[in-house]
Structure 1
Amino acid sequence: MSRNSGNNIAICDGQRKPRISRANLSVVDLFCGAGGFSEGFRQAGFNVLAGSDNDPDALATFATNFPEARTVLGDIRQDAIKERIVDAARQATVLVGGPPCQAFSQMRNHTRMIDDPRNALYREFVGTLRTALPPAFVMENVTGMDQMGVREQILSDLSLDGEYQVQAQVVDAADFGVPQTRKRLLFMGVRRESGMTAPLLKGSGATDSVVLARFTGDRRPRYQLVVQQNLLSMRLAEALADSDDLTAVTAAQAISDLADLPVGNRDDDLKWSDLSEPSSAYQRLMRADPRESAFNLQVPRINKDTELRLCGIPQGGNHRDLQEELLGRYLTGQRWGQDNGSGKLSRKHFYAYRRLHPVLWAWTLNTKADCVYHYDIPRALSVREMARLQSFPDRFIFVTDPRRGMLEGRHDGGPAHSRYRQVGNAVPPLLAKSVARSLIIALNASLKQEKIRAKAG
């Protein structure tokens, strides 16, 4: 038997066997984007070995926040890129990733997901797993995969003919202390011969305990929390209302200390002394181990029409709450955007007019600055506020590749849009941290069993 000193595996008779070291837990992040998965694993105690993505702007953010890690920029389907990724993955305790799967919603029953050419990146994740054979892996994706009935296919693919024992479950980030409801389908696998059992996460259950309900009456609609009438739900509602309790976190508990950022602010970084003091346990957690300044604080300008509409929408509300006089396409005479010729807002505008509610977490964020507006002030959120709702700590900053022009893999829209996109596409770090901790428990149990067998032998 020979050993690779930079590895967490032992080589025996040509086969890789998992060799787990508590002192050297490490992770490699495929399709890493800005690095939400990696940030959560780092907080749990893992060393981040490498991140790979084809978006140069997202990878610039990853490199800024994980200077110790290797960055692999490019398309994993290219042999040279794949070789670098596999080399890093062979050294990892855990391989993580969320490969884009473009075809799952159009699959026919007789078509296997891994065989569809539109799912080539998913196939590359499975191929990297097969080549590297780390002790454990995590793959996450949208819950639509589950709804289309491909869970069993994915479980079969990821098991690698029985090499891995794999568990799948749908989780909501808000049940793990993230101030945002964000459901994801997780697949966690462990090498069978290690004796580990693939873990399942257990969240708080807060998302099943409280909902935001719309009430109508003589006045404009209003939104308020409705709590399920059982002891657990009432306790979770109390935790949600407690600013010192991190079990469940509201939008106000996440971002109220940043409320005074001026609209149209062009200063992307400010001194901490220029900001309000933190007023919740979550804000104190996000500000821990800070950089010299606070970053990503620019607030986009909005036009007068949007401001008028936001003033007509209650906290937690959306376009359904607009009075008739606010539904006109142009309210103040300023011409902006496309005109559908009807004189009214078109359906594509409806998603934009949504205001947070201060006493509940945010809905699922997307990649655009106008996917959410402040609960108190008629304005969009800064990248930092969006990052707070995703549970990125304030020391984690979002940047772009300084090179100009349309680089390969770069998305249209410019640097500002890229930063919002990076935040919106990310895995919430606090959810990733819970995933990492569950794997540490499994890894430690495997180490304990290994010691028992060694003593018995």
Structure 2
Amino acid sequence: MNDSTGGGAMGLGGPEVVALRNRAGDTARGGRLRVVDLFAGAGGLSEGFRQAGFEVLAGADNDPDAAATYRANFPRAEVIVGDIRAPEVRARVQAAARAADVLAGGPPCQAFSQVRNHTRVIDDPRNALYREFVETLRDALPSAFVMENVTGMDQMGAREQILADLTLEGHYDVAAQVVDAADFGVPQTRKRLLFLGVRRGTGMAPPVLAGSGATQSVALTRFTGDRRPRYQLAVQQHILSLRLGEALADPDDLTATTALQAISDLATLEVGNRKEEMAWDALPAAASAYQRLMRQDAGPRLCNVQVPRINADTAMRLQGIPKGGNHRDLQEPLLERFLTGQRWGQDNGTGRLSRKHFYAYRRLHPDIWAWTLNTKADSVYHYEAARALSVREFARLQSFPDRFVFTCDPRRGPLEGRHDGGPAHSRYRQAGNAVPPLLAKHVAERLLAELNGQRDREEIRARMG
């Protein structure tokens, strides 16, 4: 891999650092703080920073469909499409990053090296995109940064390696922590590993997020017996957990959010609906504080409301799965590969469902948040109706506001960076892969507090001469 990073080849000390610090201070005094989002996808991190009051300068991603969504929702931002390893793309990314106060991103990291193998994460060719994030940070030297990734990165010594990389030889103070989005009001359990860094010597400290603790206090418990299996909420018997259980049950409390509170107003969406938009008067009034929050500033029509068709076999199985249940709850006859004679999908030759199907039969429970969404429409089914969710319901469970529209590049056929599957699959992929904006907002607010404190200290020093 080419290590060249343009201006990043210079050292980290000296007058260029002073100039960068002054740039950040001028930004804080003259207007909103600015963020650039690498590996941005549809823009979950950017949306959270925007809600916290940041100006989104630019977003970069290799997927032209995700970039189309980003462009539609951040019309004032520069959208950089292409492989960041390409010199022309890297140059645009670095130019944008040099103007930012915060660099954000979630670089894909395919390999988690083991310390005992003496292979560093940053040196593994499979982690070239992570290296690009580090080198962009080295070149731009923003006042702060956030890097997020899957918790699998936090194993086999990888956390310590990444912390060392991100300090840039002592020029940043960095803290790492695992957080669960459901502890920050997102109606979905989604664990992420966060690395938050601030420039050393500025008086700032890398913030540590403190969530509600709801995911440690409330759980779904499976009960079996003579009757069909059922799932019921279980709350730990201590004061904090009981309070969190009460908050979860209260539709006007945003501390923790259930699937019902997130999407009950969309329950009437029909299986096989092909209309991408609908008028608000076709829906009931918002039934929770979360729904009211999601509807704020939405346009005259609600978008991304198509609902996939399902075959007869799937409909039969869903009738056999209770709310909150999964393939374990299917009775023996429903485990047959083909139930109605229709041949569909892959057949493993056993006449039974295979392991790959098990992740496709999971129903939400209305009284608790959703499990972690993935990129496929059949990764989750409605708690009441025998149907999959629309992209809009995916977006609600991810905490994207209703004004946020998922779209695709209008060009047809293969494009560099485009994933297979077509526009419908791309929208689910974009929504399912995103960082929940409500979680990102909490990150941004904590960084904003540190950056504003730095600004105040600089202003005091300037007045004192």
Deviation at 1:445, TM superposition (A): 1.6
Structure 2 partner of 1:14: 16
Q: How many residues in Structure 1 have an aligned counterpart in Structure 2?
A: 447
Deviation at 1:147, TM superposition (A): 2.3
Output one character per residue of 1:72-110: Cα deviation in whole Å (capped at 9) or x when no partner: 000000110000000000011100000000111678531
Could you tell me whether the CA contact under 8 Å between 1:113 and 1:150 is conserved in 2? yes
Structure 2 partner of 1:442: 450
Match for residue 90 of structure 1 among 98, 101, 107: 98
Task: Give the Cα separation in 2 of the matches to 1:208 and 1:31.
Answer: 31
Structure 2 partner of 1:254: 262
Task: Give the Cα separation in 2 of the matches to 1:398 and 1:289.
Answer: 16
Task: Give the Cα separation in 2 of the matches to 1:105 and 1:162.
Answer: 23
Residue type at the aligned position of 2:178: V
Task: Give the Cα separation in 1 of the matches to 2:297 and 2:355.
Answer: 44
Task: Give the Cα separation in 2 of the matches to 1:164 and 1:346.
Answer: 48
Deviation at 1:340, TM superposition (A): 1.2
1:196 aligns with 2:199: no
Residue type at the aligned position of 1:345: L
Give the SS at the match of 1:104: coil
1:417 aligns with 2:425: yes
Match for residue 268 of structure 1 among 268, 276, 294: 276
Task: Give the Cα separation in 1 of the matches to 2:216 and 2:346.
Answer: 40
Deviation at 1:172, TM superposition (A): 0.2
Task: Give the Cα separation in 2 of the matches to 1:276 and 1:343.
Answer: 44
Task: Give the Cα separation in 2 of the matches to 1:371 and 1:37.
Answer: 23
Could you tell me whether the CA contact under 8 Å between 2:114 and 2:158 is conserved in 1? no
1:100-119 alignment runs, 5 A limit: 100-104=108-112, 109-119=117-127
1:338 aligns with 2:340: no
Task: Give the Cα separation in 1 of the matches to 2:347 and 2:400.
Answer: 37
Match for residue 141 of structure 1 among 138, 144, 149: 149
Output one character per residue of 1:207-261: Cα deviation in whole Å (capped at 9) or x when no partner: 0000101111110111011111110000000000000000000000000000000
Deviation at 1:323, TM superposition (A): 0.4
Give the SS at the match of 2:160: helix
Structure 2 partner of 1:67: 75
Could you tell me whether the CA contact under 8 Å between 2:113 and 2:157 is conserved in 1? no
Residue type at the aligned position of 2:177: Q
1:204-219 alignment runs, 5 A limit: 204-219=212-227
Structure 2 unaligned spans of 5+ = 1-12
Output one character per residue of 1:320-356: Cα deviation in whole Å (capped at 9) or x when no partner: 0000011111111111011111111111100000000
Question: Aligned in 2, Cα 1:195/1:17: closer, same or farther, shift over 3 Å?
Answer: farther
Task: Give the Cα separation in 2 of the matches to 1:225 and 1:37.
Answer: 31
Give the SS at the match of 1:338: coil
Output one character per residue of 1:46-94: Cα deviation in whole Å (capped at 9) or x when no partner: 0000000000000000000000000000000011000000000001110
Structure 2 partner of 1:299: 307
Match for residue 192 of structure 2 among 165, 168, 184: 184
Give the SS at the match of 1:424: helix
Task: Give the Cα separation in 2 of the matches to 1:79 and 1:108.
Answer: 34
Structure 1 partner of 2:33: 25
Residue type at the aligned position of 2:68: A
Task: Give the Cα separation in 2 of the matches to 1:221 and 1:72.
Answer: 50
Residue type at the aligned position of 1:84: R
Q: Aligned-residue CA RMSD in angstroms?
A: 1.3
Structure 2 partner of 1:311: 319
Task: Give the Cα separation in 2 of the matches to 1:421 and 1:157.
Answer: 30
Output one character per residue of 1:21-40: Cα deviation in whole Å (capped at 9) or x when no partner: 15221110000000000000
Could you tell me whether the CA contact under 8 Å between 1:249 and 1:360 is conserved in 2? yes
Residue type at the aligned position of 1:376: E
Task: Give the Cα separation in 1 of the matches to 2:15 and 2:439.
Answer: 38
Task: Give the Cα separation in 2 of the matches to 1:251 and 1:143.
Answer: 24
Task: Give the Cα separation in 2 of the matches to 1:13 and 1:301.
Answer: 61
Match for residue 35 of structure 1 among 43, 52, 56: 43
Deviation at 1:310, TM superposition (A): 0.4
Deviation at 1:319, TM superposition (A): 0.1
Task: Give the Cα separation in 2 of the matches to 1:276 and 1:33.
Answer: 32
Task: Give the Cα separation in 2 of the matches to 1:247 and 1:452.
Answer: 37
Could you tell me whether the CA contact under 8 Å between 1:105 and 1:145 is conserved in 2? no
Could you tell me whether the CA contact under 8 Å between 1:105 and 1:144 is conserved in 2? no
Task: Give the Cα separation in 2 of the matches to 1:242 and 1:312.
Answer: 29
Task: Give the Cα separation in 2 of the matches to 1:184 and 1:14.
Answer: 34
Give the SS at the match of 1:213: strand
Structure 1 partner of 2:375: 367
Question: Aligned in 2, Cα 1:388/1:363: closer, same or farther, shift over 3 Å?
Answer: same
Give the SS at the match of 2:294: helix
TM-score of the two chains, using structure 1 as the length reference: 0.96
Question: Aligned in 2, Cα 1:107/1:366: closer, same or farther, shift over 3 Å?
Answer: farther
Structure 1 unaligned spans of 5+ = 1-10
Match for residue 403 of structure 2 among 363, 373, 395: 395
1:290 aligns with 2:304: no
Identity of aligned residues (%): 72
Task: Give the Cα separation in 1 of the matches to 2:463 and 2:59.
Answer: 38
Give the SS at the match of 2:195: strand
Output one character per residue of 1:355-409: Cα deviation in whole Å (capped at 9) or x when no partner: 0000000000000000000000110000000000000000000000000110000
Deviation at 1:12, TM superposition (A): 7.1
